[in-house]
Amino acid sequence: MKNGLYTVVLLILLSVSSIFGQNGNLITSEAQLQEMKTALKSDNLFHATVNDAIEKVAPYLTSGLDVPVPKDLAGGYTHSQHKLNYSIMQKAGMLYQLTGNDTYAHLIKNTLIKYAQLFPTFDRHPATRSYSPGKFFWQCLNDANWLVYTSQAYSSIYEWLDQDTRDLLNQKLFKPYADFLSVQTPQFFNRLHNHSTWANAAVGMIGLVMHDEDLIEKSLFGLPFKNENTIDNDGGSIIKEGQKKAGFLANIDYAFSPDGYYFEGPYYQRYAMYPYLMYALALDRNKKELDIFNYDHQILLKGIETLVQLSNEKGEFFPLNDAQKGMSYFSRELKLAISIAYEYGDANKNGLLSIVEELQSVPLNYGGFLESNAIAQGKVTPYNKRSLLVTDGNKGDKGAIGILRGNRQEYIMKFTQHGMGHGHFDRLSYLMYNKGDEILQDYGAARYVNVNQKDGGGYLKENKTWAKQTVAHNTLVIGDRTQCHAKVDKAEKATPSLYYFDINNANIQIMSAKDSIAYDGVQQQRTLVLIKDDAFENPILLDLFRANLSSDQKLRMPYNYKGQMMYSTFENKSLNTLPLLGQKDGFQFLWKVGEAPSQGKFNQVNWFNNKVFYTLNMATTKEDSINYVLLGANDPKMNLRNDKAFHWLKKGHKGENLFASVLETHGSYSYTTELAPNTYSSIKNVNVLFHSTDYTAVSFENKSGEKWVFVLCNSDASTSSKHKLKLDNETLKWKGVYQLKKLI
Amino acid sequence: MKNGLYTVVLLILLSVSSIFGQNGNLITSEAQLQEMKTALKSDNLFHATVNDAIEKVAPYLTSGLDVPVPKDLAGGYTHSQHKLNYSIMQKAGMLYQLTGNDTYAHLIKNTLIKYAQLFPTFDRHPATRSYSPGKFFWQCLNDANWLVYTSQAYSSIYEWLDQDTRDLLNQKLFKPYADFLSVQTPQFFNRLHNHSTWANAAVGMIGLVMHDEDLIEKSLFGLPFKNENTIDNDGGSIIKEGQKKAGFLANIDYAFSPDGYYFEGPYYQRYAMYPYLMYALALDRNKKELDIFNYDHQILLKGIETLVQLSNEKGEFFPLNDAQKGMSYFSRELKLAISIAYEYGDANKNGLLSIVEELQSVPLNYGGFLESNAIAQGKVTPYNKRSLLVTDGNKGDKGAIGILRGNRQEYIMKFTQHGMGHGHFDRLSYLMYNKGDEILQDYGAARYVNVNQKDGGGYLKENKTWAKQTVAHNTLVIGDRTQCHAKVDKAEKATPSLYYFDINNANIQIMSAKDSIAYDGVQQQRTLVLIKDDAFENPILLDLFRANLSSDQKLRMPYNYKGQMMYSTFENKSLNTLPLLGQKDGFQFLWKVGEAPSQGKFNQVNWFNNKVFYTLNMATTKEDSINYVLLGANDPKMNLRNDKAFHWLKKGHKGENLFASVLETHGSYSYTTELAPNTYSSIKNVNVLFHSTDYTAVSFENKSGEKWVFVLCNSDASTSSKHKLKLDNETLKWKGVYQLKKLI
């Protein structure tokens, strides 16, 4: 469907008449409504949702909803009130349909009339901060939100309204509003961006309600291109280089990889899924022929599954790129998404119900009703969070996110597209979680969303100057500079590439990726190997990070750890009058609190977080050293957290360089018994046996004298190639990319 | 019973014969055992406890228990093995009694014979770090632990053993061991200290098992005094000035206040409760006449209730004095204590069962069986964590801890005795919790108990140099010096005094205390008033801290807050090359990361922690300023957490000085909806209307224009005195200590 044929197919479909539901229901059919009413006879999750909605709407049935003249930015009264209005109207619409109680219908009607009266009385919102100033809100994005929700409410009472009112609302409010968001604001409507997805859905949904073919067509295919070559608030360009399409379908095509990854990362995927799915639902109810949920191999449904996989044990999304930590599948958007995945997807088989059970709540829609029924019938099966590769790019060829999971540890390596304005310069970085706790963190976004005292709740300037910089991530910093000179354009030009990914052997899971763009003249490769062996309490992570340099340069590997430092073989000298680590590239926010030279060929750093111990076992040289750093310099408003890191430094030499380490998760602590078993790593050495551009061989040994040798071919990912590598004492022979040998 | 009469009474009691149970059961009677067996017929908490014990003991029924020659310090193999042995033997004893399966009895017998063979072969443990080196352990304390547990195991099989084995064990192991812990180590046995409580219990319990009157008498009344005037590991003196008694009863008399507060604080109370209660239980089973649980108005039972009250919403004890945070009533000791409180105390009425239900586990004893039964019968009633005053000192006249609770906030003010070697210099400090989260913290102890890499798991040197210092607490630091010049002797000499405590009015709870010892020539008084009013989302805390100085001195009020700074009216200049805050008294560990002058008469500091906002609303003068500090300087081993604080500074003038503030808990945040209501305080000013040694009057106003005036008499705590205070515009008249007036 991606080859342009769809335009033809759809235009034919659109010309077929009798495609609208008879009950005016945009997202719920009459038959579904009848089914849903049965739920109200007993105690169940859906009934609880209905009761909750009744409670939320109740106060406004008497007071009505205020429709103030727009004035405020986000967080202010008029902004919040208009948000409240669409949320209440949408609930009231569903309640009217479910209960037949027309006080709900009257609430919607009265409110919409106020909007229809207000709409023509002014041009745009007085605030001018946005690249697309809105109507009732400071930015069109919020207006599109309003219309996506309100279309649902309007649909609920569409048939109930008298013709005059309907005409009034269509002509004075909704048609002009749809035009406002589309033809009058093409720089907002015609992008390949989550903003436009909201706009497309809003215009399409109100089009479906009003039976307005023109709006529907615009929503699906966008507007003709004119002069949208401006930039948005974040400095991103409005129209992509070479962009030829716009509209809802183009946004699906562009934004999702075949694995269902959304190019801006999980945090924005969560936000974008709502319009994608609500409009898809409306299209499915009203334009069955379009078969939208099967579009592009069910890409929308796949997107939901992928998003759930991109969360930790607590359900929180991995905070890749700009993302506020803590956003999770407990959000409203994901409740909805999961209900749709449940309704349209592989039903009871995919384990999603166990997530719904964890949420303890279903949304106010037909999918929510189905979930509630299935849970009441005991159909819950466990959801399987697994190791997986999630490719990026609409052809799946622009890098990926690799996730290795073992016991309760999760390792997430990022080698995706940059992610436009919200991207971070963090190629080949990885995050680590244990039991849902962050152990090696990505800082996330420097932002307190909607908290007014932190610069109005928007992105803080430290988001750009700190959070996006390479040193805020767990990946190699070369020459104390940020990747791609911190230029989005450069970073967008080429993505890292997958070298190898194999999770078929539960005892040796491996992922490897390469990059040659981050630093000029540098070929980088990181290989993470998760090794499960009874000798270790938990799987251990072997990390081989190679960098081939065209000249000598300082190499700095940050470990942005969470927890308390316990001990290190580096003899730290504490620096009491703290110097800054540097002047730019994020270094200006770091104090150097300690530094120490390497103690020979093997070093350890051991820390403690939430009752578990972690040790980085490092193959070092005498030239290596360590820095302990603390975040918070140059930050008079205390916008940043006082997070910590240790940096493993090497003198990088022209040619091949290697960071080889084994990270062990071990031991435990109880604050009530005060027992502390296994507080030390069981590993007693890590050695580099051989390293070249083509091959890397390392060994490590535990305290019981068991020894492992791992060898990797860096230049041939074929699983059938045969290799031979001569070491000092022996010759290793193997087939395929790698070999792990255990010697006892 | 405190007046010495008990000696006579008890000597009479001890002369009565036939006082030992016939079944050799030290802590469980035959009748109780029969009852307990009924629990094994169904699923219940007690049965689960039994199954758990069976599982834990099982491996050793075949392998036996190793009894190694002692060698290691805490954490090492021999230490851990001897600990394991007593734990397994105790369980095996109870299982033998419950199941009649004599493989359990054989395990105990075989292990004890090994001990009897090993015991005579060496003198003391090779380590010499303790003031009382032990036998199987590096310190006698652990040996006393061993004997308290093993007495129970031995008792279980006492009647089952053949006479020869019994004689062997009595003569070669237990009698010599009891002598070792008492007459051979009087500096350990004869103290008023938790160490001696363990020793007394150990010797008394094995005395009960062996029917050895001499040991029992020593345990209850101690040894004659000789030359115990040495000091212990922590530098505390072994014998108190004027100490005339020793032994178990003297330790009860000395250690508990009439309110059941233990003089070393909750963390050590938890540790000490085990021997107090186990021996009491044994005495009750075997010397009913002693009526130990009614001793001194049921002081032991009262101690349990008080300890539970001294915990936050999560059940964690307030970390006053030396205390590792996280210790809670989920500990083994408290499970036991609560079961005994349940068995002997006011049974179902006191709500303790709801705590047991929270623990989801009962101990392996008769009390645990009763709890399990009661829970199965649905007898759980809510436990009431309430505001209360807990006096200190064995007459209740040595200060107190005051706790005000309102909504889910808890405020704990400390004005107790110093607490000997484990005491902190923190008079008039308060801690604050919300929903169980620390908001204004006490650092707790600088220690990672049993974590070997942190100085063997013992107290870190930073415990003395940082954690005990005044600046590590939320109380006034005068002249940048620690209270009492950081001298325990000085601090022990006089305690702060309660001025006023009244919680009868749920809308105005008040506590006030005074001190004149902390700083020479300074009279201090802190008054905390928890005010509940519908105008505020949560009760607000009015804090009036007055200091009467004999000369000008710098005043520094630390707020050791948890969370992220959101904003402040102080215009902070960030200091990028961090200076130390000072050179001593804990200041050497603090970096000054920012400082700012006051912005006039009213200032605010607003921070955020775990989804809630907090604002300190401060009545300031132009001379005031603020410091932002960060912990971690001079700490190359990173023994300290990188905690934060802000310090409110005043130029202290000779005569009266006042810190007046209102702390508001407000707003909320959701990481999934990203809604952030009420992120700002509702208070818009705090004014000092009048302040003298005798009277303090303040007002504060909220954004709705509601205004409150609070006036306090600082020098007359009578509730019937009448007062008149002339202000600029009006004259206040009231009866009693304070008055709160709301003006609208």
Compute the distance between CA of residue A108 and CA of residue A111 in angstroms, rounded to an integer: 5
Task: Determine whether B443 is an active site residue.
Answer: no
Q: Tens digits of per-residue pLDDT, B186-215?
A: 999 999 889 999 999 999 999 999 999 999
- Best mutation target, B576, B606, B610, to test chain A (most A CBs within 10 A): B576
Note whether B450 contacts A: Cβ–Cβ < 8 A.
yes
Please state the rounded mean pLDDT for residues A424-452.
Answer: 97
Q: What percent of chain B has pLDDT over 90?
A: 86
Assigned CATH for B388-743: 2.70.98.70
Note whether A583 contacts B: Cβ–Cβ < 8 A.
no
Residue A319: list chain B partners with CB under 8 A.
Answer: none
Please state the rounded mean pLDDT for residues A556-575.
Answer: 92
CB distance A578–B577 less than 8 Å?
A: yes
Yes or no: say if B679 and B667 are a contact pair by the CB < 8 Å rule. yes
Compute the distance between CA of residue A276 and CA of residue A94 in angstroms, rounded to an integer: 20
pLDDT score at A9: 44
Residue B504: pLDDT above 50? yes
Please state the rounded mean pLDDT for residues B392-420.
Answer: 95
Nearest of A175, A220, A223, A174 to residue A201 by alpha carbon: A220
Q: Tens digits of per-residue pLDDT, B446-486?
A: 999 989 999 988 899 999 999 999 999 999 999 999 999 99
CB distance B673–A331 less than 8 Å?
A: yes
Per-residue tokens: A43: 């105690």
Q: Which of A6, A104, A254, A268 is catalytic?
A: A268
Residue B8: pLDDT above 50? no
Q: Tens digits of per-residue pLDDT, A236-259?
A: 677 777 788 999 999 999 999 999
pLDDT score at B21: 36
Please state the rounded mean pLDDT for residues B291-314.
Answer: 95
Q: Tens digits of per-residue pLDDT, A144-153?
A: 999 999 999 9
CA dihedral B17, B23, B28, B30 (to 10 degrees): -110
Note whether A609 contacts B: Cβ–Cβ < 8 A.
no
Compute the distance between CA of residue A640 and CA of residue A472 in angstroms, rounded to an integer: 12
A-chain residue closest to B576, CA distance: A633
Helix (H) / strand (E) element for A50: namely: helix A45-63
Q: Would you tell me which residues 626-655 of chain A have a C-beta closer than 8 angstroms to some C-beta of chain B?
A: 628, 630, 632-638, 641-642, 644
Residue B536: pLDDT above 90? yes
Residue B579: pLDDT above 50? yes
CB distance B636–A328 less than 8 Å?
A: no
Q: Three-state secondary structure along B412-447?
A: EEEECCCCHHHCCCCCCEEEEEECCEEEECCCCCCE
Per-residue tokens: B656: 């009266």
Residue A567: list chain B partners with CB under 8 A.
Answer: 453-454, 637
- Best mutation target, A672, A680, A703, to test chain B (most B CBs within 10 A): A672
Compute the distance between CA of residue B686 and CA of residue A120 in angstroms, rounded to an integer: 47
- Best mutation target, B307, B330, B361, B593, to test chain A (most A CBs within 10 A): B593
Note whether B606 contacts A: Cβ–Cβ < 8 A.
yes
Q: Tens digits of per-residue pLDDT, B16-45?
A: 333 333 446 899 999 999 999 999 999 999
Compute the distance between CA of residue B526 and CA of residue A249 in angstroms, rounded to an integer: 67
**How far B574 CA sits from the closest chain A CA (Å)?**
4
Q: What's the whole-number average pLDDT of chain B?
A: 93
Please state the rounded mean pLDDT for residues A617-629.
Answer: 96
Per-domain residue ranges for chain A? Answer: 388-743
Please state the rounded mean pLDDT for residues A431-459.
Answer: 95
Between A131-145, B241-255, B639-653, the lowest mean confidence (pLDDT) is in B241-255
Yes or no: say if A483 and A468 are a contact pair by the CB < 8 Å rule. no
Q: Which of B177, B268, B366, B500 is catalytic?
A: B268
Q: How far is CA A429 from CA A418, A714, B387, in A?
A: 13, 18, 50
Task: Determine whether B276 is an active site residue.
Answer: no
Q: Tens digits of per-residue pLDDT, A85-120?
A: 999 999 999 999 999 999 999 999 999 999 999 999
CB pairs A-B closer than 8 Å: 138
CB distance A451–B679 less than 8 Å?
A: yes
What angle is formed at CA B438 by the lines to CA B269 and CA B675, rounded to 5 degrees?
150
pLDDT score at B74: 79
A-chain residue closest to B590, CA distance: A576
Q: Tens digits of per-residue pLDDT, A46-97?
A: 999 999 999 999 999 999 999 999 998 877 889 999 999 999 999 999 999 9
Q: How far is CA A698 from CA A588, A736, B83, B673, in A?
A: 36, 17, 41, 47
B-chain residue closest to A328, CA distance: B672
pTM over 0.95: no
Yes or no: say if B585 and B470 are a contact pair by the CB < 8 Å rule. yes
CB distance B576–A634 less than 8 Å?
A: yes
Compute the distance between CA of residue B157 and CA of residue B173 in angstroms, rounded to an integer: 15
- Best mutation target, A447, A643, A674, to test chain B (most B CBs within 10 A): A674
**Amino acid letter, A198:** W
Q: What ipTM does the predicted assembly reach?
A: 0.90
Residue B454: list chain A partners with CB under 8 A.
Answer: 566-567
Please state the rounded mean pLDDT for residues A188-201.
Answer: 94
Give the nearest partner residue to B634 out of A574, A580, A635, using CB atoms. A574
Yes or no: say if B321 and B443 are a contact pair by the CB < 8 Å rule. no
Residue A16: pLDDT above 70? no
Note whether B328 contacts A: Cβ–Cβ < 8 A.
yes
Residue A231: pLDDT above 60? yes
Between A168-177, A732-741, B571-580, the lowest mean confidence (pLDDT) is in B571-580
Residue B710: pLDDT above 90? yes
Q: Which of B125, B193, B418, B422 is catalytic?
A: B422
Compute the distance between CA of residue B139 and CA of residue B130 in angstroms, rounded to an integer: 6
Q: Tens digits of per-residue pLDDT, A574-605?
A: 777 778 888 888 999 999 999 999 988 999 99
Compute the distance between CA of residue A44 and CA of residue A368 in angstroms, rounded to an integer: 11
Please state the rounded mean pLDDT for residues A547-562.
Answer: 98
Q: Within 13 A of A540's CA, how many CA atoms are on the CB side?
A: 24
- Reduced to 3 states (helix: H, G, I; strand: E, B; else coil), residue B648 is strand
Please state the rounded mean pLDDT for residues A476-494.
Answer: 95
Please state the rounded mean pLDDT for residues A675-702.
Answer: 96
pLDDT score at A14: 40
CB distance B644–A644 less than 8 Å?
A: no
Compute the distance between CA of residue B116 and CA of residue B524 in angstroms, rounded to an integer: 59
Note whether B174 contacts A: Cβ–Cβ < 8 A.
no
**How far A162 CA sits from the closest chain B CA (Å)?**
36
Yes or no: say if B233 and B130 are a contact pair by the CB < 8 Å rule. yes
